[in-house]
């Protein structure tokens, strides 16, 4: 059986299988492998799989897969990809990389990795809630007692609702706590609650800015703290958006397939 070396990274509890695919050997149609590797009882266990590939115009390309094989932007995955690319000698303290939604800039400052997100339009109302796309779609619901929310049940109901057919959405439950914001997220593609979601944290910060919070916004996810800084334009849109937080290697290994 062929062997593949992988590296396990996590960013505030959002964990990823990261693969050095600069030779372009991984068959991206093997969604069965991605699903089996991400399975936590019979596989390696992860919220997604990241390929690092060469690119002629930027420092590297990040190809991200959800556990179900779909592709999207992943904010925490991007930060882990930058940290891994540094170990490969592809980047130093600052870099640029290509993701599914275009080119991003990033910087490494000690244990923190910050990535610049694409500019985002104003949040839209979704009934009593909000919707905003930060590279991945996010539904935002403010709640009074976050600890009592059944994230899986309520999140899956919104994710699969007629409102978001056919592609669905991620769902974030949010409770302001003074100057900080607490969030729990149901992730599309993972189809469960995750400890953190980078695009979700970004979406929450921008919705809170729409409601009067100033930059930067400190977000407390289940897996740790992240910070989102931005410039709010007069028309309610956002530019200069940076998602910042820790990204760490957990271990590396070899998988047969």
Give per-residue pLDDT as tens, 246-256. Answer: 999 999 999 98
Task: Report the DSSP beta bridge partners of residue 97.
Answer: 60, 104
Q: What's the length of the chain?
A: 257
Q: Residues 100-139: pLDDT tens digits?
A: 999 999 999 998 999 999 999 999 999 999 999 999 999 9
Q: Give the residue numbers annotated as catalytic, written as ranges.
A: 74, 197
Q: What does pLDDT average to over the chain?
A: 97
Domains 3-115+247-256 and 124-244 share a fold: yes
Distance CA 91, CA 59 (A): 7
Burial class (CB in 10 A: 0-12, 13-18, 19+), 55: middle
First-to-last alpha carbon distance for the chain, in angstroms, is 6
DSSP 3-state assignment of 34? helix
Among the CATH numbers 2.60.40.1530, 3.10.310.10, 1.10.357.10, 3.30.420.40, which is that of 3-115+247-256? Answer: 3.10.310.10
Domain 124-244, CATH number (from 3.20.20.140, 3.10.310.10, 3.40.50.720, 3.50.40.10): 3.10.310.10
How far from 193 is each of 4, 150, 222, 234, CA to CA, in Å? Answer: 28, 10, 10, 34
**What's the pLDDT score for residue 179?**
86
């Amino acid at each position: 059986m062929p062997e593949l070396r992988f590296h396990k990274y996590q960013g505030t509890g959002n964990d990823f299988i990261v693969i050095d695919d600069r030779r372009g050997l991984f068959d991206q149609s093997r969604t069965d492998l991605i699903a089996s590797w991400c399975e936590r009882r019979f596989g390696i266990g992860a919220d997604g799989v990241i390929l690092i590939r060469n690119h002629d115009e930027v420092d590297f390309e990040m190809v991200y897969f959800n556990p179900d094989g779909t592709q999207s932007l992943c904010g925490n995955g991007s930060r882990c990809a930058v940290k891994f690319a540094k170990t490969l000698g592809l980047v130093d303290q600052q870099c640029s990389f290509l993701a599914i939604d275009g080119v991003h800039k990033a910087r490494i400052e000690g244990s923190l990795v910050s990535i610049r997100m694409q500019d985002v339009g104003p949040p839209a109302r979704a009934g009593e809630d909000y919707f905003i796309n930060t590279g991945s779609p996010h539904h935002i619901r403010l709640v009074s007692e976050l600890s009592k929310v059944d994230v899986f049940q309520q999140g899956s109901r919104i994710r699969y609702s007629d409102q978001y057919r056919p592609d669905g959405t991620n769902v974030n439950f949010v409770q302001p706590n003074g100057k900080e914001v607490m969030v729990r997220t149901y992730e599309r593609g993972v189809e469960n609650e995750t400890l953190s979601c980078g695009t979700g944290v970004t979406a929450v910060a921008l919705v809170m800015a729409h409601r009067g919070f100033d930059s930067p916004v400190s977000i407390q996810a289940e897996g740790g703290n992240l910070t989102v800084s931005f410039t709010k334009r007069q028309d309610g849109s956002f530019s200069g958006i940076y998602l910042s937080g820790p990204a760490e290697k957990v271990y590396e290994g070899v998988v047969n397939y």
